[in-house]
Amino acid sequence: MKHRYTFLALATVMILSSCNYRQYTSDDFSDIAYDQQSIAILPIEIIYMGKKPKNLTDDDIAALIREESLLYQSSLHKEVHGRNQASDNAPRITVQSHRTTVARLADAGIDIESSWRVSPEELADILGVDAVLMGKVSTRRLLTDAESLVIDIAGSVINSIPSIGGLPGTNGRASKSADMTIGYEIIDTRSGATLWTYAGTSEASWDDRPEEIIQRINRRAARRFPYSVGRDRYVAR
C-alpha cells in the first residue's frame, strides 16, 4: 500500500501548488516499462462531495457514480489510443480493451466500487496484465445527473437569446462550477512501484456536456501517457 500513500501525497502537493496539471515519471520507469507488455485502465473512482439532490435517493447517486466511473474509463481508453504523443523510443505497451477489463472483473465477482478497494497486484492477476492505471476524481457535481443536464440545457438556451444575453452574473455564459480534482497513476504490478502520476484540477461550466468535460480531462492526460500504444490484445502470463 506504500505506493498509494506516496501518490496521494505527491498529488496533493501538485494540486495545491497550481491549478495546472502536473505529471511525475519515476526514475525507474524505462527500466521497468520495457519489460511490460500490457496495461489495463480500471474504472475510475468517483468521490462525490456535493449536496445530495432532493430528487435522488442514495441508490440513484450510487448508480450515477458507477455510470460516471465507466465514462471516465472508456473515454481515457479512447484518448490514449487517439492522442498519445509518446516518442517512438518510448516503451511500447498494449492497452487492454476497457470492455474486457470490466467483463473480467465481473467474472471474478468484482463490481465497479469493489475494484477501487482491491490491490493492484490482485487486479493485474485477474486481468492478465503487467500494469494498471488507477484513478480518482473528486467532484461537487455528478456530470451524469439528469438534474444538472437540465440546468446545462436551460443555460445554453438562455445564453443563446440576444435579448436576454445570459443568466445573471454570467457575462453571457453559464457560470463556472463543478470544480474537480483528478489524479491518475500507473502501477507496475510486479514490483508494486508507482511509475507515473498525473494530477490537477479542472473547472467546468454548467453548459458543458458531460462527455465534453470528461474528454477534455482525458485528452490532456492521454497526451502525457508515457508509453507508445500498440493494438489491443490479450497477453497471457
pLDDT tens-place string over residues 125-165: 999 999 999 999 998 877 766 444 443 333 333 333 343 33
How much is the pTM? Answer: 0.76
CA-based R_g, the chain, Å = 19
Q: How far are the Cα atoms of 19, 187, 194 from residue 102, in angstroms, in the given order?
A: 32, 18, 22
Read off the C-alpha cell for 25: 515519471
Average the pLDDT over 169-196 and give the result. Answer: 74
Q: What residue numbers bound the domain in which 124 lies?
A: 2-143+177-228
Using one digit for the tens of pLDDT, what is the confidence trace for 101-131?
Answer: 999 999 999 999 999 999 999 999 999 999 9
| Residue 175 DSSP class | P
Number of domains in the chain: 1
Average pLDDT over the chain, rounded to an integer: 77
- Please report whether residue 152 resides in a domain: no
Q: How high is the pLDDT of residue 6? A: 42
Q: What is the CATH number of the domain that holds 9?
A: 3.40.50.10610
List all residues 6 or more positions away from 182 whose beta carbon is below 8 Å from its beta carbon: 21, 135, 136, 137, 198, 199, 200, 201, 202, 217, 221
For residues 202 and 30, what is the distance between their CA atoms, to the nearest angstrom?
30
For residues 150 and 180, what is the distance between their CA atoms, to the nearest angstrom?
20
Using one digit for the tens of pLDDT, what is the confidence trace for 25-70?
Answer: 999 999 999 999 999 999 999 999 888 878 888 898 899 999 999 9
- Please report whether residue 235 resides in a domain: no
- Please report whether residue 118 resides in a domain: yes
- Please report whether residue 157 resides in a domain: no
Contact by Cβ (8 Å): 226, 195: yes
Q: Is the pLDDT assigned to residue 100 strictly greater than 70?
A: yes
Contact by Cβ (8 Å): 38, 129: yes
